[in-house]
């Protein structure tokens, strides 16, 4: 059986094939990262009476939909379990989980949820969102740096938490000469397609 295409039908078929090929090439050129890999990290540091201390959260949950070519549809959400904070010892951990600091019983999570992405050069994106700690939510803008990590994408953010704005470190701890008022925080995610 021979199939004969009329010139008009052949052009349509060729046009459709070209469109599908271009769509496939565009998908390959503009990846969509959605699979957060194990090992997400949220760490912090502070100074207490001039002495540096470091800590991290053992339980980090993240959801990512990131497409560099489609920032309008990109989203990220990162949450930490406040009860999973570790800062060098059981006494410090207990204090940070308690009512003067994170108040983990009343507020089990701290969370950032994005609302918009804006490109700022290769591998640099401003991310606007809402950050909630201890039931207090404020708008926040952070700089997201990305780079290839094999076939995956590494995502890193550094920001300073103004603890007073969220009521973190109340009572005698509110004095910023005792514990620094700004807490540097680092977030690291590894995301696959």
Q: pLDDT tens, 3-37?
A: 444 455 444 544 444 444 444 444 445 799 999 99
Nearest to 101 by CA among 151, 57, 154: 57
Predicted confidence (pLDDT) at residue 115 exceeds the cutoff of 60? yes
CATH architecture of 31-192: Beta Barrel (2.40)
Output the CA–CA distances (angstroms, integers) from residue 73 to 41, 130, 148, in the order listed. Answer: 24, 17, 21
Determine the 3-state secondary structure of 150 from DSSP: coil
pLDDT at position 9:
45
pLDDT digits (tens, 9 = 90+) for 41-65: 999 999 988 899 999 999 999 999 9
Domain range summary for the chain, segments of one domain joined by +? 1-29, 31-192
pLDDT at position 29:
59
pLDDT at position 30:
78
Q: What token pair was written down for 10? A: 């052949």
pLDDT digits (tens, 9 = 90+) for 133-175: 999 999 999 999 999 999 999 999 999 999 999 999 999 999 9
* Angstrom distance (rounded) from CA 24 to CA 74: 20
Nearest to 119 by CA among 111, 110, 128, 108: 128
Report the predicted TM-score, pTM, of the whole model to 2 decimal places.
0.84
């Amino acid at each position: 059986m021979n199939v004969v295409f009329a010139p008009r039908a052949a052009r349509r078929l060729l046009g459709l094939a070209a469109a599908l090929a271009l769509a496939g090439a565009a998908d390959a050129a503009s990846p969509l990262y959605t699979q957060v890999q194990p090992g997400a990290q949220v760490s912090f540091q502070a100074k207490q009476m001039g002495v540096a201390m470091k800590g991290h959260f053992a339980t980090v949950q993240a959801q990512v939909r990131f497409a560099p070519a489609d920032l309008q549809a990109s989203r990220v959400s990162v949450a930490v379990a406040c009860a999973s904070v570790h800062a060098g010892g059981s006494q410090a951990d207990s204090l940070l989980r308690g009512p003067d600091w994170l108040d983990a019983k009343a507020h089990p999570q701290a969370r950032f949820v994005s609302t918009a992405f804006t490109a700022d050069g290769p591998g640099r994106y401003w991310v606007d969102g809402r950050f909630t700690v201890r039931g207090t939510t404020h708008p926040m803008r952070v700089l997201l740096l990305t780079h290839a990590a094999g076939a995956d994408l590494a995502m890193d953010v550094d920001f300073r938490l103004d603890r007073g704005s969220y009521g973190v470190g109340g009572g005698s701890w509110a004095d910023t000469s005792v514990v620094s008022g700004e807490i540097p925080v680092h977030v690291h995610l590894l995301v696959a397609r």
